[in-house]
């Protein structure tokens, strides 16, 4: 699978850092530092545009180091970039800590993992089959 990348920032091209890496890092491409107050969220530009092949998506994921060290995460958990999207990639970051956090131009802010997707054939029916679990959810098994 090949992904065409248009880079409109002054930073290095995203790359896999090790042979076993699943994702490529995205960097902040703002011209000025971005301040994130506690519980504040902001849309952070990367200066990256992608041409993702049909049948694939790009998943934007948090960086574990930012999460554990500074409480920086993604508001939407995992962001999806569809194959037909051609706009600039932006990342919705949130500061879950009690301290202000500064994102500097060039800082690695998130990672992207490419996934093959399968389109489901959706069939409208009048009822669906029941299972032993049924509609139990949200901790119904007692596991905490």
More confident residue, 96 or 131: 96
Query: Is 133 a member of any domain?
Result: no
Please list, in sequence order, all residues whose beta carbon lies within 8 angstroms of the beta carbon of residue 45, skipping any fewer than 6 positions away.
Answer: 28, 29, 30, 88, 90
Calculate what percentage of the chain has a pLDDT beyond 90. Answer: 89
Query: Is 39 a member of any domain?
Result: yes
Query: Is 11 a member of any domain?
Result: yes
Q: How many domains does the chain have?
A: 1
Q: How many CB atoms lie within 10 A of CB 51?
A: 13
> Rounded mean pLDDT of 26-34?
97
Whole-prediction pTM: 0.86
Say how far apart CA 117 and CA 51 lie, in whole Å: 16
Burial class (CB within 10 angstroms; exposed 0-12, middle 13-18, buried 19+) of 134: exposed
Query: Is 108 a member of any domain?
Result: yes
Q: Residue 95 belongs to what domain range?
A: 4-116
Query: Is 83 a member of any domain?
Result: yes
Residue identified by tokens 């949130």 is 94
> Rounded mean pLDDT of 79-100?
97
The CATH code of the domain that includes 96 is 2.70.40.10
Query: Is 127 a member of any domain?
Result: no
Per-residue pLDDT tens over the stretch 33-72: 999 999 999 999 999 999 999 999 999 999 999 999 999 9
Query: Is 141 a member of any domain?
Result: no
Residue 142 confidence (pLDDT)? 67
> Rounded mean pLDDT of 91-111?
98
Two structure tokens written together for 89: 């990639």
Task: Give the residue from 17, 6, 34, 23 showing the smallest Cα distance to 92.
Answer: 34
Quote the distance between the C-alpha of residue 89 and its chain's center.
10
Query: Is 78 a member of any domain?
Result: yes
């Amino acid at each position: 699978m090949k992904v065409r990348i248009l880079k409109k920032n002054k930073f290095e091209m995203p790359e896999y850092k090790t042979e076993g890496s699943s994702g490529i890092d995205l960097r902040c491409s703002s011209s000025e530092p971005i301040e994130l107050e506690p519980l504040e969220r902001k849309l952070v530009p990367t200066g990256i545009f992608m041409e993702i092949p049909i049948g694939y998506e790009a998943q934007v994921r948090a960086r574990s180091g930012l999460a554990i060290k500074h409480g920086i995460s993604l508001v939407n958990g995992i962001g999806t970039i569809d194959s037909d999207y051609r706009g600039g990639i932006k990342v919705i970051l949130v500061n879950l800590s009690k301290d202000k956090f500064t994102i500097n131009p060039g800082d690695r802010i998130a990672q992207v993992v490419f996934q093959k997707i399968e389109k489901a054939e959706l069939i409208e029916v009048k009822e669906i089959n029941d299972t032993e679990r049924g509609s139990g959810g949200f901790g119904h098994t007692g596991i905490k």
